[in-house]
């Protein structure tokens, strides 16, 4: 997870997250033109829910694979136009990914706490 400086402002962290989500969606679309994201606000909002490190590693492939599941190419304007009515499905997939990431983080924290507390019997 990225280190958050003690003097980081909340508004800066929010904007950093927004920029990362925009960049990840643009990468999935294979575009350098932010105007190609017009109409994809729900997908962008869902991407913002992922940790920034997971956006590129998990979010970009998820978008690309969702397009492929419908036989569409996210790098082509016609492919994006055809998928626009299905963006909620992509957004839900990104939300599912966020939920799974959070669950994995919780499991890892519980395991670490159990090991530190000697609750597993491994330290006896």
According to the model, what pLDDT value does residue 112 have? Answer: 81
Distance CA 120, CA 37 (A): 49
The residue ranges of every structural domain in the chain are 10-116
3-state secondary structure of 10: helix
Q: pTM for the complete prediction? A: 0.80
- The pLDDT tens digits of the residues spanning 45-75 come to 999 999 989 999 999 999 999 999 999 999 9
In the structure, what pLDDT confidence band is assigned to residue 1 with cuts at 50, 70 and 90?
very low
Q: Where are the alpha helices (DSSP H) in 49-118?
A: 52-54, 60-69, 77-83, 87-117
């Amino acid at each position: 997870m990225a280190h958050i400086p003690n003097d980081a402002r909340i508004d800066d962290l929010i904007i950093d997250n927004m920029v990362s989500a925009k960049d990840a969606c643009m990468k999935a679309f294979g575009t350098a033109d932010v105007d190609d994201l017009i109409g994809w606000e729900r997908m962008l909002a869902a991407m913002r829910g992922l940790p920034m490190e997971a956006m590129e590693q998990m979010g970009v492939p998820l978008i690309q694979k969702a397009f492929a599941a419908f036989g569409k190419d996210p790098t082509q304007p016609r492919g994006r136009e055809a998928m626009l009515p299905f963006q909620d499905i992509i957004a839900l997939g990104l939300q599912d990914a966020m939920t799974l990431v959070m669950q994995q983080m919780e499991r890892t924290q519980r395991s670490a706490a159990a090991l530190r507390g000697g609750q597993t019997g491994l330290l006896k």
